[in-house]
Amino acid sequence: MKLWLGLATLVASLSILLLGALSAIGFGPNLGLPFGYYGKFNQVLRQIEGNPELEVIRTTLHRDMELEDFYITVRTLDEREVRLRFEGADTRPISSLLQELMNVGM
């Protein structure tokens, strides 16, 4: 019984580590982490979702070796749809991406 429990724990632990590693390099699902392949996207999205005046309608990701570009379409309180473009995100610091939100008043 202890052997089965130990094996089950080992398999579960390795599965979680593998899922996290795959996500960090872009092969796994987006786990919402602030680092790794989807890190900058997740940080920007979290900032937008924290604004009660905005509703995220859709996201578009340009997946490649790096997450180069991403786009987030939001709806404002006055029902306007605004498409936010984050191009070259793989080569820019997160502070630059967040500054873009401030520049458009979000």
What are the boundaries of each domain within the chain? 1-31, 32-106
| Whole-number pLDDT of residue 85 | 93
> What φ, ψ does residue 91 adopt, rounded to 5°?
-110, 0
Give the model confidence (pLDDT) of 5-40 as tens digits: 888 898 888 888 877 676 666 677 888 889 888 999
* Tokens linked to 68: 């180069």
| Whole-number pLDDT of residue 23 | 63
Helix (H) or strand (E) holding 78: none
Task: Please say whether the beta carbons of 101 and 84 come within 8 A.
Answer: yes
One CATH from 3.90.1200, 3.30.310, 1.10.3470, 3.10.450 for 32-106: 3.10.450
Give the model confidence (pLDDT) of 50-92 as tens digits: 999 999 999 999 887 888 899 999 999 999 999 999 999 999 9
